[in-house]
Amino acid sequence: MESLLLRVSSIAQGITSGKTTFPTLALFARYLIIQKLENIQTGHLMVVCSDGQELRFGTAASTPVELRVMSDEFWTCVLLFADIILISNRGELADGGTYVSAILSSFSGWIHPVNNPSNACLNVVAHYDVCNEMFESFLSPDMTYSCPIWNEASPDDDESLECAQLRKLHHIIRAADIQPTDHILEIGTGWGSFAIEAARTTGCTVTSVTLSKDQKETAEDRIAAEGLADKIEVLLCDYRHIPVPNVLYDKIVSIEMVEHVGPRYLETYFNAIDRLLKPDHGIAVFQSTTLPESIYQECSGSKGFINEYIFPGGHIPSATQLVTAIEKGSSGRLCLHRVEMFGPHYSRTLRIWRQNFLDNFERKIRPALRKKFPKMNARDLEIFSKKWEYYFAFCEAGFRTQVHNNVIITARRRNCMLQGEALFI
């Protein structure tokens, strides 16, 4: 049965993937999608078709947003895979999906490989090992690839992205109550920004794990440059296989890594944390992008643009799902202490990343990609650029409209008490 579904999905993907076209299907798809777009009530959308025809939907009084269709295969893609989302008209358009896309998305989600250790490694390599020079071109100098915390007292000031990222790192250090004598486990190294900042500011020791060889190499170079090689160790290791030390970890931190775990393994993930964290006074802090419960139910089981082209194997959980998995995965030994929401801080960040990416593509990113992937031609590079530009814009819109959120969750052992809390007992 699974092989049959794979074949069905493969045929459906092949309809839109290349030189063979199906004009009748494209015309049928165009008709159905136009019927769907007729339901737009908020905003003004102008669609310029490949034959030059202009179609207008929504409120003509507002300034139109132009969607230019370069190929009729666009209509087939939308019909089969619902590759277009109009957030302000979710209710009217039912998320832009069709019956066909709903069926194929369900099949695709059902047969999509789970994040077992081997697939998890391949998924990480597909994104994080693309090209370090590219990430350096759009991230701040600290190389933090997650939601920062901007200065809410002056949201329109000229604060740098690096300053906002450091504020977030310090916030997590405080949330975990990291002390100089602590041994910290970080799950998801990135390029080492948290480990470096935690060791530099508190004097703690950090063991950090990653599945990305490129990130491990770069993080170790940056750690050595800071003179912290004696304080920080980076392991190439899946979270399921982290060695249990003789003395368990005092604190565990994981920054936007849980989105790579997948729904099937969430409890396994938190069980690993429970197994590695000291039973007395242990604290764990997690940062994750989340979906509202209602939207998560709509999207669960489907595979959208981000999962297909940017983060293979990615899964954005709901906050409720995370809290439940913490409780079940730790058998109640980890207690929820605090949930903080920072979603609005991400839209500004994604806008900066997108602009940095575009500003540096020709001068830095294109040469770096050609050096690492000599077989990439001009067309490949154009597709790559547009794909990442759309990724940044797509996510920015999601956070701006609160379809996406970002949370920092602090969980503690039952008997954990921070300095000053005894005063209230």
One-character DSSP codes across 369-398: HHHH-TT--HHHHHHHHHHHHHHHHHHHHH
Residue 169, pLDDT score:
98
H or E element in which residue 12 lies: helix 2-15
Residue 52, pLDDT score:
84
pLDDT digits (tens, 9 = 90+) for 244-294: 999 999 999 999 999 999 999 999 999 999 999 999 999 999 999 999 987
Q: Is residue 3 over pLDDT 50? A: no
Residue 177, pLDDT score:
96
Q: Is residue 417 over pLDDT 50? A: yes
Burial 398-415 (b: 16+ CB within 10 A, else e): bbbeebbbbbbbbbbbee
Residue 416, pLDDT score:
67
Q: Is residue 1 over pLDDT 90? A: no
Q: Say which DSSP state 403 is in.
A: S
pLDDT digits (tens, 9 = 90+) for 379-408: 999 999 999 999 999 899 999 988 899 999
Residue 179, pLDDT score:
97
pLDDT digits (tens, 9 = 90+) for 319-376: 999 999 999 999 999 999 999 999 999 999 999 999 999 999 999 999 999 999 999 9
Residue 304, pLDDT score:
72
What is the phi-psi region of residue 301: left when phi exceeds 0, alpha when psi lies from -120 to 50, beta otherwise?
A: left
Contact 109, 301 (CB under 8 A): yes
Contact 383, 389 (CB under 8 A): no
Percent of the chain past pLDDT 70, that is, above it, reads 81
Residue 63, pLDDT score:
76
Tell me how crowded residue 63 is: count the other CB atoms within 10 A of its CB: 7
pLDDT digits (tens, 9 = 90+) for 55-81: 888 777 677 788 888 888 877 777 766
Contact 176, 184 (CB under 8 A): yes
Average pLDDT over residues 215-240: 97
Percent of the chain past pLDDT 90, that is, above it, reads 57
Higher pLDDT, 7 or 242: 242
Tell me how crowded residue 34 is: count the other CB atoms within 10 A of its CB: 14
Average pLDDT over residues 26-35: 80
Average pLDDT over residues 171-183: 97
pTM of the model: 0.81
Residue 90, pLDDT score:
55
Q: Is residue 20 over pLDDT 50? A: no
Q: Is residue 422 over pLDDT 50? A: no
Residue 337, pLDDT score:
95
Residue 61, pLDDT score:
66
Selection from 74-78, 121-125, 140-144, 411-415 with the highest mean pLDDT:
140-144
What residues contact residue 13 under an 8 Å CB cut-off, 6+ apart? none
Contact 424, 308 (CB under 8 A): no
H or E element in which residue 187 lies: strand 183-187
Contact 189, 195 (CB under 8 A): yes
